Amino acid sequence: MHTLRPVYLDEEHFATGPSVAILDQTQLPHTHITLYLTELNLIYEAIKSLRVRGAPAIGIAAALGIYVHMKHTAPANIDAFISAFESARAYLASSRPTAVNLTWALNRMAGTIKDHASTTVPNILLALRETALAILNEDTNVCRSIGEHGAQLLKPGMGILTHCNAGTLAASQYGTALAPIYIAHERGMSLRVYADETRPLLQGARLTAYELRMAGVDTTLICDNMAADVMQKGLVDIVFVGCDRVAANGDTANKIGTLGVAILAKNFNIPCYVCVPFSTIDTQTITGADIEIEQRNPREVTQMWYEKDMAPKNVKVYNPAFDVTPAAYITGYITENGVLKPPF
Ligand code: MRU
């Protein structure tokens, strides 16, 4: 494995207290900058603008972020502490509405406060630190287990297509959709990965191609509209994608473009697996139609990455960050507890 660390708790950078260390993914692959954040509005901004991104990593950043914020600003009185925590929780939860790991992690932090509300503020802070670090460390183990289960579906020489980035950079170490590839690669299996570039924010080109190559995995970058072609040519044996939220009926929200990949895979009889920690399964959301989809700035489509505007001024732009793949297109869900298939 490589040594990329997308998000962690730093307790040495500032003498004044802890910070959330974030590898700024907007600068990758060519520039490595680690941000050390303590202020709530900067932690919000880092999540909103995808400096840290990917469902598990967003949850980890929010958990560490709210701990760091409370540590630096903690009111001495418990009631004031709880009310400050609640407003910080609502603020961070609003940064990216689709990824359920964000609210899952913040709710877990809130549960810790509830469990320690009869003690003192210093005790609550210790417990918050412990929970935030548990969320980080559990992610590594969960993703490794997803990798173990997913690796059983792989055979030497297979071609795998993936969309967006659901690798190390999207979590704490192995990622989800790339975890089976990393595990199989660690065991010496040769595989070929096709990475969709993933318009408009290019997570496939900038992040997936980068981290897979760094790990020595045979990786070919393709534009999103080339997926049908590589599938038709028989170059793809299996599709692995991540997800931001799985509804109770199995419908899955993931990076915009995943729906198209899943439809293509079904057309070409290629199995399409969603790699998903249980923390991303939201049984409160009944179907995919109930998942809130984040809409993003039109400039990501018209201007970002280009030297000049590439579209007519003020053209209408549709820029949802995610789409929903109906369960019928998904062969199975690779979780830390094994591969789930319908009926659930
Ligand atoms: O907008 P992003 O880059 O945060 O979107 C990321 C994805 O869609 C990932 O596939 C998903 O979060 C799973 S990451 C393990």
Choice from 162, 211, 243 to test ligand 1 binding pocket (greatest atom count within 8 A of CB): 243
What is the per-residue pLDDT for 149?
98
DSSP state of 8: E
CA 108 to chain centre: 18
% of the chain beyond a pLDDT of 90: 95
Distance CA 199, CA 113 (A): 40
Q: What is the mean pLDDT of residues 146-156?
A: 98
Expressed in angstroms and rounded, the spacing between residue 306 Cα and the centre of ligand 1 is: 23
Q: Which residues line ligand 1 (CB under 6 A)?
A: 50, 53-56, 99, 164, 166, 170-171, 175-176, 203, 242-244, 254-255, 321
pLDDT of 27 > 90? The answer is: yes
Task: Report which of 185, 154, 152 is spatially closest to residue 167, judged by C-alpha positions.
Answer: 185
Expressed in angstroms and rounded, the spacing between residue 1 Cα and the centre of ligand 1 is: 20
Contact, 6 vs 172, CB < 8 A? yes
Phi-psi region of 234 (alpha: psi -120 to 50; beta: other; left: phi over 0): left
* H-run or E-run covering 192: strand 192-196
What is the per-residue pLDDT for 270?
98
State the pLDDT confidence band at 173, using cuts at 50, 70 and 90.
confident
Across-strand partners of 160?
193, 238
Distance CA 245, CA 292 (A): 10
Q: What is the mean pLDDT of residues 30-47?
A: 98
The closest-lying atom of ligand 1 relative to the alpha carbon of residue 99 is 12
What is the per-residue pLDDT for 1?
66
- Burial level of 266, CB count in 10 A (0-12/13-18/19+)? middle
The closest-lying atom of ligand 1 relative to the alpha carbon of residue 55 is 12
Which stretches of the chain are DSSP H helices? 40-48, 55-73, 78-93, 100-116, 121-151, 179-186, 203, 209-214, 227-232, 258-267, 299-302
Query: Does residue 244 have an active-site annotation?
Result: yes
Give tens-digit pLDDT for 234-293: 999 999 999 999 999 999 999 999 999 999 999 999 999 999 999 999 999 999 999 999
Expressed in angstroms and rounded, the spacing between residue 77 Cα and the centre of ligand 1 is: 38
The letter for the amino acid at 137 is N
The letter for the amino acid at 91 is Y
Q: List the catalytic residue out of 139, 196, 237, 244.
A: 244
Give tens-digit pLDDT for 49-60: 999 999 999 999
Residue ID of nearest Cα to ligand 1 atom 8: 255
116-120, 142-146, 158-162, 332-336, range with the lowest pLDDT: 116-120
Distance CA 126, CA 132 (A): 10
State the pLDDT confidence band at 76, using cuts at 50, 70 and 90.
confident
Q: Tokens in use for 53? A: 């991104």
Distance CA 47, CA 6 (A): 12
Q: Tokens in use for 240? A: 């692995």
CA 200 to chain centre: 16
Q: What is the mean pLDDT of residues 176-198?
A: 98
Expressed in angstroms and rounded, the spacing between residue 120 Cα and the centre of ligand 1 is: 37
Q: Tokens in use for 149? A: 């289960």
Quote the pTM value.
0.96
Expressed in angstroms and rounded, the spacing between residue 79 Cα and the centre of ligand 1 is: 36
Contact, 4 vs 169, CB < 8 A? yes
Q: Tokens in use for 167? A: 């690798």
Q: What is the mean pLDDT of residues 115-136?
A: 96
